[in-house]
Amino acid sequence: MPQPIFEVENLGVAVNDLDAARERTTEGVMVEPYGPALPYGWVDAIVDVSFAVYPGEVFAIAGESGSGKTLSVMGSLGLLGPGAKVSRGTVRFAGQQIRPTRNLERQRNRRFRRKVRKRERFLEELLDDDWRHIMGTEIGVLFQNALGGWNPVSIIGEQAGEALDEHTGLSLREIQDRVLDALGEVQLPKESKYISFPDELSRGQAQRAMLAAALVKGPRLLVADEPLTGLDAGVAAAILSLIRDMQRKRQMAMIFITHDLAQVASLATRVAIMYGGRIVEVGPVDEVFHQPQHPYTEGLLGALPRPGVDRLTPIAGDVPKITSVPEHQCALAPRCPYAVAQCTSSLPELGTVDGSRSVACFRTAELQLRGV
């Protein structure tokens, strides 16, 4: 087995949610870096998420909206907004351990910051600089909101080349040539779109331009966060085909975040199924689709349109708010037709079923679940 290009271990992400905090505790505690303690008002949303992505593979993370897919990946990339922060975990890129500390450091309270010795602070800033360099040269990101991801007052070509300008010694002419080539590669009229402002693009064109901006760096890892959201079916199919072609042509590793299992089937090599802020099943796409081993995976597949099925079977109930998931029981238990007493009193851990599959369910060995 090759070394992972991107590896996340025991990632925790907390969010600021006063209502959920009041339900869980009435007394605040001091925040410690990458430790279990959180200040009052902050609650765990992502708990102990671990996954690895190998060179050249497409690793999908799937689940209903609100299951924690984007929060997990953006947390591992250090791209969280002000209402969320990494609370624990380790991130490695090409074997190099780099913690996305910038978000955490920015949000620590002053009392704790004064306690940090100069040497420790310098170390964290150094780690953050390393991470910024990797993000600028080795990792490309397609954000969910293609139009909102652009600065509205700068032309597309300049924004697409910013990472090269910041992190390489290329001349402005060399950067411009690379951006023009990338725009042509994603099938946009390169000269006209280079000088276009974001509001002059359609949503589909904005996503193609964002793909060009990601590819211009020659990344080893491409992260696509629900890149087809809001696109018409025909445009979405064309963008998905383009992403697949670019990934195969460049042999990039890829993390593909989606709630659409049909997209997973057409693109991914392996898939992690998320629910309630945790990964509940991981494995090769063919095995997970044909022989699911977690009831939630079976439920998602039952709602997947396919030939010969006239009536879909939705999962009963609603997706729980990610900050209100009980800490000491299976999050799916209230919606699961197979739940037993143990499911409501204990939390199943993600464990290896065989060499390629991992599942978090107490009843995996005895259940015969339906696939596609």
Q: What is the pLDDT of residues 250-271, one digit of tens each?
A: 999 999 999 999 899 999 999 9
**Mean pLDDT of the region 167-177:** 92
Banded model confidence at residue 13, pLDDT cuts 50, 70, 90:
very high
Q: Is the pLDDT of residue 341 over 70?
A: yes
pTM, 2 dp: 0.87
Please tell me which residue, 221 or 354, carries the higher pLDDT value.
221
- Residue 52 three-state SS: strand
Whole-number Å distance between alpha carbons of 368 and 366: 7
Q: What is the pLDDT of residue 44?
A: 87
- DSSP assignment, residue 276? T
**Mean pLDDT of the region 42-69:** 94
- What is the 3 state secondary structure string of 273-297? EEECCEEEEEEEHHHHHHCCCCHHH
Place of tokens 């998320």: 274
Under 8 Å between Cβ of 51 and 73: no
Q: What is the pLDDT of residues 303-323, one digit of tens each?
A: 776 666 666 777 888 888 898
Under 8 Å between Cβ of 4 and 92: yes
Banded model confidence at residue 116, pLDDT cuts 50, 70, 90:
very low
Place of tokens 């170390």: 123
Pairing of strands 42-53, 221-225: unpaired
Q: What is the pLDDT of residue 124?
A: 46
Q: Is the pLDDT of residue 72 over 90?
A: yes
Q: 166: burial class by Cβ within 10 Å (0-12, 13-18, 19+)?
A: exposed
Give me the chain's average pLDDT, please. Answer: 85
Q: Is the pLDDT of residue 48 over 60?
A: yes
